[in-house]
Amino acid sequence: MSLPTGAGLALSRITAGYGSGVVLHDLSFALWPGELLAIVGPNGAGKSTLLKVAGGALRPSAGNVELFQRPISTYHRRELARVIAMVAQENQVAFRFTVLEIVLMGRAPHLGSFHLESRHDLAAAHAALERFDLLDLAHRSISELSGGERKRVFLARALAQQPRVILLDEPTAFLDLRHAAEILNEFCTLCRESGVAVAATMHDLNAAASYADRVLLLHNGAAVACGVPDEVLNTAILEQVYGVKVQIGRNPMTGALAVFPGASSRRPPDVASPATGKGASSER
């Protein structure tokens, strides 16, 4: 399979795992500038492993990874960090850095040896803090924050890095409803306005349907389907992959797909609005 021309990130025929265990099998996909790709699938499907391969943290045993038409293995570490940022599910910090210090670490790839942060670096960090509602916490120790607040700090660090590709492993984990929606909206805006390519693993299929341009569905380390949400998130595919009955409806406010696990004898689509009792249109 030839790698697609113009993709920000392209993986072709990837096989990868840990030790003698194979997690990903002959997997290919492309991530395009300006799009948000949701990577979904059951636990153990290989989502986090795929992000590690895509970000250069795990070398595949077979296949190729290209970042802007160049093999990712040819990037030097600092050069790679200027192009791609990754936020893991959990981020450990050994010292009592402040929130501002953590976010400023995202500027490290842009600094020369022994150089201090410039006004531009401070401005980039300030903008990331503001974007993720962290200005009031800027001088707090990272060790004093809740899990959701810590998650937003590391997302802000990735934003301050100003990469062209961002890989997010469960970006809304630990976040409340408001901040989860704000985070996904911010990354959608970043894709649209700055042309950044974002790939995010998600367990929430409804969030994937609402925010993603395309959805990549994994099962047992292989790609089952990849396309716009309406193509991938359908009853037949989801029941096969997740092993549970599902019904598909529509979000009454946005018209996006809504996935309901555990089918009953009632017909949930189109979903009735609690306020009006009226069903939503099937048009998206």
For residue range 3-39, list pLDDT tens digits in order: 666 889 999 999 999 998 999 999 999 999 999 999 9
Tokens representing residue 179 in the block: 């901040």
pLDDT at 269: 43
Whether 248 and 254 have beta carbons less than 8 Å apart is answered as no
CATH class entry, domain 9-243: alpha beta
The structure's pTM equals 0.87
pLDDT at 96: 85
Whether 167 and 199 have beta carbons less than 8 Å apart is answered as yes
Phi and psi at residue 99, to the nearest 5°: -60, -45
Which whole-number Å values give the CA distances from 191 to 159, 166, 182, 221, 280, in the listed order? Answer: 12, 10, 14, 27, 28
d(CA 207, CA 184): 8
pLDDT at 283: 33
* Segment 89-134, tens digit of pLDDT: 877 776 889 999 999 999 999 886 656 788 899 999 999 999 999 9
* Segment 247-284, tens digit of pLDDT: 999 988 888 899 998 754 344 444 433 333 333 333 33
pLDDT at 116: 76
Q: Residue 234 pLDDT more than 80? A: yes
The identity of residue 45, as a single letter, is: A
Q: Where in the chain is the domain with CATH 3.40.50.300?
A: 9-243
